[in-house]
Structure 1
């Protein structure tokens, strides 16, 4: 592969002493070698820091950031990006593992794409247990390990705000110049990845790679969400994301799509007796409705 672009992999750790060395080793084992590795420990209460320090003694090129207080994944990642020198970013949780050709395939996709203004590429992920046993795949696959249902690439804004398209964030590579332009992750949100995909897809294109690029470990402390909006988590964060999407909409069709999403949130808020959240979403629904007439 004739490519010498620098890729920065940011490995975020919080109480992952059992897994973090496997995660770092998977980066060191990449077939593509021009990689900057930054590890961020978000004030772990287990042995993560000592495990990392002992492991990286033989790898002085690895940058290790030790937070003195728990900042959360989003702020920790944004802070690490300030030290990133790469043209591309990989957001790696310390309990996940990259397959050896992951970065090679991601970079080749960026270089060979026919899409204009490509900002993010992503693929499929194998879901594994705490012990490394196979559970499933993020997107269902056939006997050839290709996705059973065709996934589209390109302008995905309407598909993402409707949740018709969900994205496997753990298998993604981000163009750093775009991340910087959009001022990174929104640190107020529980679903910073979904919000980022929405903002990116408004202005840029996204490409799917039909390959299994990573192993995502399913544990109680897993750092990444699944790039949808789970129904058992912070509804206010969802509301903020949908309100931001409203300001990004450009036409009546997009407003109608977003209205359906907000309607679902209203129903859920009422079902869970979260009346203040329901009221916020009702007001948002009215505002969107006035624009979609």
Structure 2
């Protein structure tokens, strides 16, 4: 069987302290053929020089140095639409690929029907300094994992809870093309990809640790807990897309629960415009109760009350 070409889009923004380890992990892959795109998204540290060094040492690699930060979605798309791989990895260059990452995931993909659009796996979490923090999917002591992985048709699952470790994803090129790539109007990509892709494509979990993910104080998971969540507006937009994609009462119920969570989150962050948008979506999805009405009223109070 001919091995399919896999594209790795290595996205960098001020990753100089971690960049060599990340790029060396590409070189350590036991899989071929690979197409590697090095993309610097407007870094202000030594990252562009390091990327140029690796590109010179490996002439088959492609180098794209963006003069300013255009956002992850647009930066990824600029490489993706020029690439050729049948499967694609969106690789943040502060993370690390384990040597069998690509070979394991490609082998799984080749065993699945063609309507599977993405496979994902477990990962080891690291501090900024590289110290282990445990696994993304932790054993629950009863033979399962927390968060519980889901496979197959997972549209309702991705609406309702976070369980996919984004850095572990291997995406089918045809799936990304069907979506038009990442939505460049959004500030982050994974939730939107999960929602839109899972409507028409199946996902598959692989019970293996394939990646090391570095957790930063400035990461998305840290940002959403701060007074101003810069990702909330994008989350609301994805929820609006999800509403248009819902087909069953169960899916609408799951989306309603998600919207109630986001409404509370927006109010806690005092982002009233976002809270009003969420309240409007909730009104379209479900019959509202007294708590829903009360929270909606809070969204229309003057800021500071």
Task: Please report the TM-score for the alignment, with normalisation by the length of structure 1.
Answer: 0.90
After TM superposition, the runs of 4+ consecutive aligned structure 1 residues lying more than 6 A away are none
Contact 1:229 1:238 (C-alpha < 8 Å) held by counterparts: no
Query: What are the superposed Cα offsets for residues 112-158 of structure 1, whole Å, 9 maximum, x if unpaired?
Result: 12x56100000011011223221121111479x98467533100001
Determine helix, strand or coil for the equivalent of 1:127. Answer: strand
RMSD: 2.3
Q: Map of 1:251-290 to 2, 5 A cutoff?
A: 251-289=248-286
Task: Report if the CA contact (8 A) 2:126-2:132 is conserved.
Answer: yes
In structure 2, do the counterparts of structure 1 residues 193 and 148 end up closer, same or farther at CA, with 3 Å as the change threshold? closer
- Tell whether the 8 Å contact from 1:146 to 1:210 is kept in structure 2 after alignment: no
Counterpart check, 1:89 vs 2:94 = no
CA distance, structure 2, for counterparts of residue 6 and residue 136 of structure 1:
32
Give the equivalent residue in structure 2 for 1:124: 122
Which residue of structure 1 lines up, in the alignment, with residue 132 of structure 2? 134
Q: Structure 1: where are the runs of 5+ without partners?
A: none
1:160 corresponds to 2:168? no
Kept in 2, the 8 Å contact 1:120–1:205? The answer is yes
Kindly report which structure 2 residues correspond to 1:36-75, keeping only aligned pairs within 5 A, or say none. 36-75=35-74
> Retained in 2: the 8 A contact 1:126–1:137?
yes
Q: Which moved more, 1:279-288 or 1:4-13?
A: 279-288
Once residues 114 and 106 of structure 2 are traced to their aligned partners in structure 1, the CA distance between those partners, rounded to angstroms, is 15
- Distance (Å, rounded) in 2 between the aligned partners of 1:149 and 1:231: 20
Q: Secondary structure at the match of 1:126?
A: strand
Task: Name the residue aligned to 1:76.
Answer: 75
- Following TM superposition, by how much is the alpha carbon of 1:57 offset from its aligned partner in structure 2, in angstroms? 2.0
Cα distance in structure 1, aligned partners of 2:6 and 2:217: 29
Match for residue 297 of structure 2? Answer: none
Aligned residue runs from structure 1 range 1-293, under 5 A: 2-113=1-112, 115=113, 117-141=115-139, 147=145, 151-163=149-161, 165-220=162-217, 225=220, 230-232=224-226, 233=229, 234-289=231-286
Instruction: Give 3-state SS (helix, strand or coil) of 1:30's partner.
Output: coil
CA contact (8 A) 2:7 2:34 kept: yes
Q: Which runs of 5+ in 2 are unaligned?
A: 288-305
Shift of 1:108: 0.6
Q: How many residues align?
A: 283
Q: Do the aligned residues in 1 keep the contact of 2:55 with 2:62 (CA within 8 Å)?
A: no
| Deviation of the 1:231 alpha carbon | 4.8
Tell me the CA shift for residue 268 of structure 1. Answer: 2.4
- CA shift in 2, pair 1:116/1:256, >3 Å: same
Instruction: Identify if the C-alpha distance between structure 1 residues 217 and 149 changes in structure 2 by more than 3 Å, giving closer, same or farther.
Output: closer
